[in-house]
C-alpha cells in the first residue's frame, strides 16, 4: 500500500504533557482520511508536526516521501490548520496572490478560479478584516488548494459554515479525492460529516491511535439486530446478556451469521416476531465506544461530538 | 526560491498602506511642514527675531547651495526620529507573521531561510526608499526656505563633495540597516511586534548618545573592543573618516577598519542569529 504519511514512534511533549505519544500511523495515498479524537487527543499537534511548524520530540515521519520539512515534499502539500487568519489589510484575492507568489507558479486565472470554486467570487475584492469565520474558512481552503497539491490537510474546514456551505465543502472534498486524485486528510467535529465524506478514519486519544480502518468496516462491527417482539421479557430471557431494551423492541448484539439460530430460538420459546431488521452503528457510536465516552458526556455530545 | 519569497513579501508590503505611510512618508512630509511653518514664522517676525536666531538656520538672503545642503542632510539623516518610523515598517514585516499567525500559511510554500531572507531584502529596500524620501524631503525643505527668504538657488557639488554625499548616505543607510537587523532578531526571538519596534529603537537612541557620554567619561575608541561594542561610536568614527578635516584630527589608528568592523558585526550578527533561531523555532501556538 502506497502511503502519503508514515509515522513511527512520533512523539511531541510540552513539559510533562505528551501531545503525541509514540504515534505509529500510515495514511494511504488516495481518498479522504478522517482524523478524529477528543480535544487534546493530539490531532492538531500531528498536523503541525507533519507540516514542519513544530519539531517532534522523538520518532520520525515520512511525508510525501520526504522527511518532515523536506522542501520538495512540502511543496506538494496544502493545508488549513484550524480557523485561518490573514493580514487584515489584504483582500481575499490579494491573500491568494501573496501566497501564490510565495509558492510560485500560481496565475491570476488560477486565483480567480479558486475564489469562484469556494464561493468567494463576489467577496474577492473585500478586505478580509470584515470576513465571517465561514468566509475565512473558505479562503483558507482556497489557499490550501490553489497550488494543486497531491496531499491536503484540512483541520475543521467546515467550522463556522452554514449548512449549504457545509454541503458545498463536502462535495468539494469528495471531488478532490475522486476527480483530482488528491489525498485529503480531514479532521472535523462533525462526525456525521466525517462518516459521509471519509473513506478511512483514525481515532486518536491521548496522543495515540486507538482504532483505525475503513469507515464501512468500523461501523459494520457495531451492527445490531433490532427485534419488535412480544413478550419482551421472554425474548430478553432467550437472548441473555447480548440483548437490551430499546423502547418497545429488543436490540441484540449478534453476528449476522447467528440470525437464523436466534430467530429459531425465539420462535421455539413462543416469542412472536413482528419485525426484525439490522441497524448499523454510526461513526459516533464507534467514537464514543473507542474513546470511552459514556452517559452524560455522550448525551451532550450527540450530534456534534467533540473530536479535537 | 528566494525570489518567490521576495516577491510575496514585497507584494504584501505594497498593500500595507499604513506601514508604508509611517515608514516612508511621515518623516519627510511632517519635516517639510514643520520647516515650512518655521520659515514662514521667522519671515513674518523677521524684524523681531533679527540677530536672535542661530546663523546655521540660514534664515538670511545669501544664495542657497542645494548641493551643500544635500551633503549636510546626508550627514545627519540617520537620526532616532527617522529610525523610529522606518522601524514601524520593518517591525510589521518581521513580526507580522507571528502577529497574524500566518507562518502556517507560508512555511509549506518555501524554505524557512528563504522566507526570512525575503523579509530582510524587502526591509532593506524599504530603508533605501526611506533614505531617498528623507533626502528628497530635505531638498524640498531647502526649496521652501529659498522661496520664503527669497534666496537665490545654486547647485554645486565638487568631486570631493559628491564622494562625501555618497559615503555619508551609505553610512546613514547602513546605520539604519544595522538597527533594523536588531529588530529582526527581536521579532524572531520574542515573536512580538512591539519588541521588534522598541528593542532596536532603545538601543538605537542609546547608541546616538552613548559615544558622547563615553567620551565625557574619558573612554576613547583607541582599542578595538570599544567600537565593536558600541556601534554608535563605530558610526561616528566612520563619519569622521569621511568628513576628514578637523573631525579627523583626533582619529585613533585604524579608525576605518574599526568603524567598518563595528557596523558590519552589529549588522550581520543579528541577521545570522535570527536565521539560526528561526530554523529551529516552533511556529505554532499550542
Q: How sure is the predictor about B66, in pLDDT bands with cuts at 50, 70 and 90? A: confident
Q: Does B11 touch chain A (CB under 8 A)?
A: yes
Residue B186 has pLDDT above 90, yes or no: yes
Of B15, B109, B282, the CB nearest to A53: B282
B102/A86 touch (CB, cutoff 8 Å), yes or no = yes
Strand A32-36 vs strand A200-205: parallel, antiparallel, or unpaired? parallel
Identify which has the larger pLDDT, B269 or A39.
Answer: B269
Average pLDDT (A99-128) is 91
Q: What is the mean pLDDT of chain B?
A: 86
Q: Which residues of chain B does A147 touch, with a Cβ-Cβ cutoff of 8 Å?
A: 109
Q: Does B250 touch chain A (CB under 8 A)?
A: no
pLDDT at B221: 66
pLDDT at B43: 81
Residue A304 has pLDDT above 70, yes or no: no
Look at residue B242 and give its three-state secondary structure. helix
Residue A300 has pLDDT above 90, yes or no: no
B7/A51 touch (CB, cutoff 8 Å), yes or no = no
Q: What percent of chain A has pLDDT over 70?
A: 94
A87/B96 touch (CB, cutoff 8 Å), yes or no = yes
Q: Which residues of chain A does B16 touch, with a Cβ-Cβ cutoff of 8 Å?
A: 87, 89
Q: Which residues of chain A does B101 touch, with a Cβ-Cβ cutoff of 8 Å?
A: 85
Q: Poorest-confidence range of A275-279, A296-300, B136-140? A: A296-300
pLDDT at B277: 95
Average pLDDT (A26-50) is 90
- Which residue of B10, B20, B101, B104 to mutate against A (max A Cβ within 10 Å)? B104
Q: How sure is the predictor about A272, in pLDDT bands with cuts at 50, 70 and 90? A: very high
Q: Which residues of chain B does A45 touch, with a Cβ-Cβ cutoff of 8 Å?
A: 286
pLDDT at A305: 39
Closest-CA distance, A101 to chain B, in angstroms, reads: 5
Class of domain A223-279: alpha beta
pLDDT at B18: 93
Residue B239 has pLDDT above 90, yes or no: no
Of B7, B8, B100, the CB nearest to A86: B100
Q: Poorest-confidence range of A1-10, A194-203, A290-299? A: A290-299
Q: Which of residues 58-87 of B touch A (CB under 8 A)?
A: none
Q: Does B280 touch chain A (CB under 8 A)?
A: yes
Q: Which residues of chain A does B106 touch, with a Cβ-Cβ cutoff of 8 Å?
A: 99, 102
pLDDT at B249: 65
Average pLDDT (B79-85) is 87
A101/B8 touch (CB, cutoff 8 Å), yes or no = yes
Return all residues near A228 (Cβ < 8 A) that are at least 6 apart.
A248, A249, A273, A274, A275, A276
Q: CA B170 to CA B254: how far, in whole Å?
A: 20
Please give the interface size between A and B, counted as residue pairs whose CB atoms are below 8 Å apart.
86
Residue bearing cell 500500500: A1
How far out from the chain centre does Cα A308 lie?
Answer: 10
Measured from the Cβ of residue B149, the count of other Cβ atoms closer than 10 Å reads 17
User: Which residues, in sequence order, are bridge partners of residue A59?
Assistant: none
Q: How sure is the predictor about B47, in pLDDT bands with cuts at 50, 70 and 90? A: confident
pLDDT at B248: 62
Is B20 in contact with B13 (CB distance < 8 Å)?
Answer: yes
Residue A299 has pLDDT above 50, yes or no: no
Q: How sure is the predictor about A255, in pLDDT bands with cuts at 50, 70 and 90? A: confident
**CATH architecture for residues A3-218:** 3-Layer(aba) Sandwich (3.40)
- Which residue of B14, B94, B95, B108 to mutate against A (max A Cβ within 10 Å)? B108
Residue A7 has pLDDT above 90, yes or no: yes
Is A88 in contact with B100 (CB distance < 8 Å)?
Answer: yes
pLDDT at B6: 95
pLDDT tens figures, B115-157:
999 999 999 999 999 999 999 999 999 899 888 888 888 888 8
Is the bond leading into A249 cis (omega within 30 degrees of zero)? no
A79/B108 touch (CB, cutoff 8 Å), yes or no = yes
Average pLDDT (B225-252) is 77
pLDDT at B61: 67
Return all residues near A297 (Cβ < 8 A) that are at least 6 apart.
none
A88/B100 touch (CB, cutoff 8 Å), yes or no = yes
Q: What is the mean pLDDT of chain A?
A: 86
Residue A16 has pLDDT above 70, yes or no: yes
pLDDT at A296: 46
Residue A253 has pLDDT above 50, yes or no: yes
A102/B103 touch (CB, cutoff 8 Å), yes or no = no
User: Which residues, in sequence order, are bridge partners of residue A5?
Assistant: A27, A63
Q: Which residues of chain A does B107 touch, with a Cβ-Cβ cutoff of 8 Å?
A: 51-53, 74
Residue bearing cell 568592523: B261
Chain A residue at shortest CA distance from B7: A101
Q: How sure is the predictor about B251, in pLDDT bands with cuts at 50, 70 and 90? A: confident
Radius of gyration of chain A (CA): 23
Q: What are the φ and ψ backbone dihedral angles of A200, each rounded to 5 degrees?
A: -130, 155
Average pLDDT (A162-185) is 89
Of A19, A51, A87, the CB nearest to B108: A51
Closest-CA distance, B102 to chain A, in angstroms, reads: 6
Q: CA A163 to CA A242: how far, in whole Å?
A: 39
Of B7, B12, B107, the CB nearest to A53: B107
Report domain extents, chain A.
3-218, 223-279
Closest-CA distance, B278 to chain A, in angstroms, reads: 11
Q: Poorest-confidence range of A54-58, A189-193, A256-260, A275-279? A: A189-193
Of B4, B16, B17, the CB nearest to A103: B4
Helices then strands, counting H and E runs in chain B, come out as 13, 2
DSSP A31: S
Residue A48 has pLDDT above 70, yes or no: yes
pLDDT at B57: 64
Average pLDDT (B149-171) is 86
Q: A217-231, A254-268, A269-283 — which one is most confidently predicted on average?
A: A254-268
Chain A residue at shortest CA distance from B6: A102
Closest-CA distance, B181 to chain A, in angstroms, reads: 22
Q: CA B157 to CA B69: how far, in whole Å?
A: 10
pLDDT at B217: 79
Q: CA A287 to CA A37: how far, in whole Å?
A: 8
Report domain extents, chain B.
2-29+63-279
Identify which has the larger pLDDT, B211 or A205.
Answer: A205
Average pLDDT (B82-100) is 92
pLDDT at A104: 85
CB hemisphere CA count around B117 (13 angstroms): 13
Identify which has the larger pLDDT, A1 or A33.
Answer: A33
Residue A51 has pLDDT above 80, yes or no: yes
Chain A residue at shortest CA distance from B284: A53
Amino acid at each position: 500500500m502506497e502511503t502519503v504519511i508514515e509515522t513511527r514512534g512520533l512523539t511531541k511533549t510540552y513539559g510533562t504533557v505528551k501531545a503525541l505519544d509514540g504515534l505509529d500511523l500510515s495514511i494511504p495515498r488516495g481518498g479522504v482520511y478522517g482524523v478524529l479524537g477528543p480535544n487534546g487527543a493530539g490531532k492538531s499537534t500531528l498536523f503541525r508536526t507533519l507540516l514542519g511548524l513544530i519539531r517532534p520530540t522523538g520518532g520520525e515521519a515520512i511525508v510525501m516521501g520526504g522527511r518532515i520539512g523536506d522542501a520538495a515534499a512540502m511543496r506538494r502539500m496544502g493545508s488549513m490548520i484550524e480557523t485561518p487568519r490573514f493580514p487584515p489589510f489584504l483582500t481575499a484575492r490579494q491573500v491568494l496572490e501573496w501566497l501564490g507568489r510565495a509558492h510560485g507558479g500560481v496565475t491570476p486565472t488560477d486565483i480567480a478560479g479558486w475564489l469562484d470554486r469556494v464561493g468567494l467570487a463576489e467577496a474577492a475584492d473585500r478586505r478580509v478584516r470584515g470576513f465571517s469565520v465561514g468566509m475565512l474558512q473558505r479562503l483558507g481552503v482556497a489557499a490550501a488548494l490553489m497550488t494543486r497539491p497531491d496531499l491536503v490537510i484540512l483541520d475543521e474546514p467546515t467550522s463556522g459554515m452554514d449548512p449549504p456551505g457545509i454541503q458545498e465543502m463536502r462535495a468539494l472534498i469528495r471531488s478532490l479525492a475522486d476527480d483530482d486524485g488528491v489525498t485529503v486528510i480531514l479532521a472535523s467535529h462533525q462526525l456525521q460529516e466525517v462518516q459521509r465524506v471519509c473513506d478511512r478514519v483514525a481515532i486518536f486519544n491521548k496522543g495515540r491511535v486507538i482504532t483505525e480502518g475503513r469507515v464501512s468496516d468500523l461501523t459494520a462491527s457495531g451492527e445490531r439486530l433490532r427485534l419488535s417482539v412480544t413478550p419482551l421479557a421472554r425474548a430478553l430471557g432467550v437472548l441473555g446478556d447480548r440483548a437490551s431494551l430499546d423502547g418497545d423492541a429488543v436490540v441484540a448484539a449478534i453476528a449476522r451469521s447467528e440470525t437464523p439460530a436466534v430467530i429459531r430460538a425465539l420462535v421455539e420459546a413462543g416469542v412472536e416476531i413482528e419485525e426484525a431488521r439490522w441497524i448499523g452503528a454510526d461513526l459516533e457510536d464507534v467514537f464514543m465506544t473507542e474513546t470511552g465516552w459514556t452517559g452524560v458526556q455522550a448525551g451532550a455530545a450527540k450530534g456534534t461530538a467533540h473530536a479535537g | 526560491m528566494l525570489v518567490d519569497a521576495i516577491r510575496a513579501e514585497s507584494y504584501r508590503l505594497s498593500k500595507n498602506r499604513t506601514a508604508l505611510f509611517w515608514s516612508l512618508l511621515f518623516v519627510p512630509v511632517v519635516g517639510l511642514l514643520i520647516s515650512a511653518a518655521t520659515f514662514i514664522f521667522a519671515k513674518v517676525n523677521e524684524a523681531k527675531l533679527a540677530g536672535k536666531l542661530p546663523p546655521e538656520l540660514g534664515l538670511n538672503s545669501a544664495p542657497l547651495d542645494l548641493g551643500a545642503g544635500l551633503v549636510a542632510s546626508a550627514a545627519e539623516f540617520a537620526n532616532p526620529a527617522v529610525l523610529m518610523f522606518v522601524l514601524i515598517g520593518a517591525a510589521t514585516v518581521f513580526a507580522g507573521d507571528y502577529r497574524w499567525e500566518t507562518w502556517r500559511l507560508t512555511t509549506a510554500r518555501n524554505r524557512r531561510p528563504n522566507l526570512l531572507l525575503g523579509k530582510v531584502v524587502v526591509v532593506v529596500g524599504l530603508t533605501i526608499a526611506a533614505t531617498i524620501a528623507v533626502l528628497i524631503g530635505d531638498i524640498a525643505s531647502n526649496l521652501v526656505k529659498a522661496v520664503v527668504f527669497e534666496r537665490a538657488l545654486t547647485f554645486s557639488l565638487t568631486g570631493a563633495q559628491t564622494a562625501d554625499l555618497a559615503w555619508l548616505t551609505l553610512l546613514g543607510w547602513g546605520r539604519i540597516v544595522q538597527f533594523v537587523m536588531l529588530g529582526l532578531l527581536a521579532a524572531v526571538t520574542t515573536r512580538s511586534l512591539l519588541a521588534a519596534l522598541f528593542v532596536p529603537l532603545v538601543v538605537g537612541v542609546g547608541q546616538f548618545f552613548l559615544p558622547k557620554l563615553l567620551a565625557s567619561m574619558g573612554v576613547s575608541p583607541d582599542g578595538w573592543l570599544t567600537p565593536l561594542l558600541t556601534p554608535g561610536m563605530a558610526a561616528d568614527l566612520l563619519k569622521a573618516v569621511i568628513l576628514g578635516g578637523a573631525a579627523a584630527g583626533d582619529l585613533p589608528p585604524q579608525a576605518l577598519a574599526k568603524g567598518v568592523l563595528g557596523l558590519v558585526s552589529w549588522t550581520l550578527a543579528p541577521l545570522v542569529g535570527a536565521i539560526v533561531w528561526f530554523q529551529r523555532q516552533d511556529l505554532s501556538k499550542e
